[in-house]
Amino acid sequence: MNKGFSLVELMVAMTIIVVVTAVGMVSFTGINKRSRDGKRVSDLKKVAMALEIYRQEVGNYPADLSSLVSDYVDSIPTDPKSFTYDYGRPTLYTYTYKAQMEDLGSTNMASESGCGDVCNYVIRNP
């Protein structure tokens, strides 16, 4: 009587393990991207609220975000994956604050240069 597994049975078992592992890795990578994108959106909204409070008190938006530190935010948030956030003030009464999202489902604008490579999410006023 033979004891043990045949080569075919071992190959089938190893194939199943590889497929399940690959599916798990792909899902895990997607979840990480969406998590980092969620933090980016939260960071931009946090600074946008500080910008609105600054405008209410001063009368216009600051030329750069360093004016917000200590009075309006503890620190300027940084991107969770070493991209950059792009703040711009075209006029005294308007601003754009952009980020680069990893998951294309998290974007809200066409791609523009900046933010390290390409900005594809923006908060602007007005």
pLDDT tens across 33-89, in order? 999 999 999 999 999 999 999 999 999 999 999 999 989 999 999 999 989 999 999
Tell me if 47 sits within 8 A of 54, measured CB to CB. no
CATH number of the structural domain 7-125: 3.30.700
- Average pLDDT of the chain to the nearest whole number: 90
- 93-124 pLDDT, tens digit per residue, is 999 999 999 988 788 887 777 776 788 999 99
Q: How many CA atoms lie within 13 A of 12 on its CB side?
A: 5
The helix/strand/coil state of 43 is helix
Neighbour-count burial of 81, counting CB atoms closer than 10 A to its CB (0-12 exposed, 13-18 middle, 19+ buried): middle
Which residues have a Cβ under 8 Å from the Cβ of 83 and sit 6 or more positions away?
Answer: 99, 100, 115, 116, 117
Task: Please answer whether residues 106 and 117 qualify as being in contact, where contact means their C-beta atoms are separated by less than 8 angstroms.
Answer: no
Q: Please, which pLDDT band fits residue 5 given cuts at 50, 70 and 90? A: confident
d(CA 81, CA 10): 41
Q: Which of 44, 27, 45, 26 is nearest to 100 (CA)?
A: 44
Domain parsing of the chain, residue ranges: 7-125
